[in-house]
Homo-oligomer: A and B are copies of this chain.
């Protein structure tokens, strides 16, 4: 009972050939019912487990999905959970690798998995990534690849994302409706798609209300709390400081909030604030921060479904792009006009 039992052991003990055992095991035709029973019984007794490696080597597929993510924060962890759910159901095992937003780690992780460990990839690109050659290798190998959340025009692949532009629009329009006049945006890194899309929504909202965008109020900064804190400090020291800030992530909103509080300004009276993601934390801080809610779990599930479709489908799906709706959740940080029932009109 030391070495794990193999198909050969069963064949030898039953005095039949390994081919027959193999057939019996996977319910193939051309095998007598009695023989099958005997094989099943013995395999049970020997606690036989088919060797996945050998199988994968033979039929050149692993039934593993490589999931490449830049980190495992709340949103991505939720998405991964969605992926996991669907993948498991479909008989796939997922290998999650996080790159820590590092370009180098992203490449290393990818190459590792690429070496015949997975059948394909579900990817959300790192914010550091500006070059996409390593992903091309996946496509060269004809491997299925699905991108999610953070997409990029440089990759021809099916994908699913949220309507970032609309999210940016909803957030900005809401601030305008609340009477804010000088609305700043903390956009993320310049090369990140979601960053620019949310910025586009911001710009469209300004345009709709005939407000002129002010370059001084459009801040690009790294996707994290501390940089948002610093950027907000600078914003608040301007002669004509903004009276509202839209940050493209909740983490950044938290940073902004800290700077605002430190300055002694009140939300929403002195300054309005809206974030993005609707992470649990924004409803816990005081004041609660308005934020654009996105269906992260659902998005993960769709990503996995797309992957499986791509696997089983011969036709080119690289043009497929699912876009999920988002919805602004209004909280105290931006709600100046209060109606009778406590909601904005």
Contacts and interface: CB of A to CB of B under 8 A. Distances in A.
Interface stretch (A52-60, A240-248, A301-309, A317-325): A52-60
Chain A contact patch, size range: 35 or more
Given A81-B72, A284-B281, A88 B108 contact: yes
Contacts of A94: 97
A316 to B, nearest CB: 17
Contact of A286 (B49, B105, B286): B286
A98 interface: yes
Contact of A117 (B52, B112, B257, B284): B52
A159 to B, nearest CB: 22
A284 B51 contact: no
A41 interface: no
Contact of A56 (B53, B64, B88, B96): B53
Interface in A295-339: none
A82 B26 CA distance: 40
Contact of A53 (B53, B73, B142, B286): B53
Contacts of A115: 49-52
A49 B140 CA distance: 13
A210 interface: no
Interface of A: 1-2, 4, 49-54, 56-57, 62, 64, 72-74, 77, 80-81, 84, 88, 93-98, 100, 105, 108-109, 112-117, 140-142, 254, 257, 280-281, 284-286
18 contacts: A1-B140, A52-B116, A52-B117, A53-B116, A54-B116, A72-B81, A77-B77, A81-B98, A84-B97, A84-B98, A88-B105, A93-B95, A93-B109, A93-B113, A95-B96, A257-B284, A280-B281, A284-B285
Which 6 pairs across A and B sit closest by C-beta, in order of nearness?
A72-B77, A286-B286, A96-B96, A52-B115, A53-B57, A95-B95
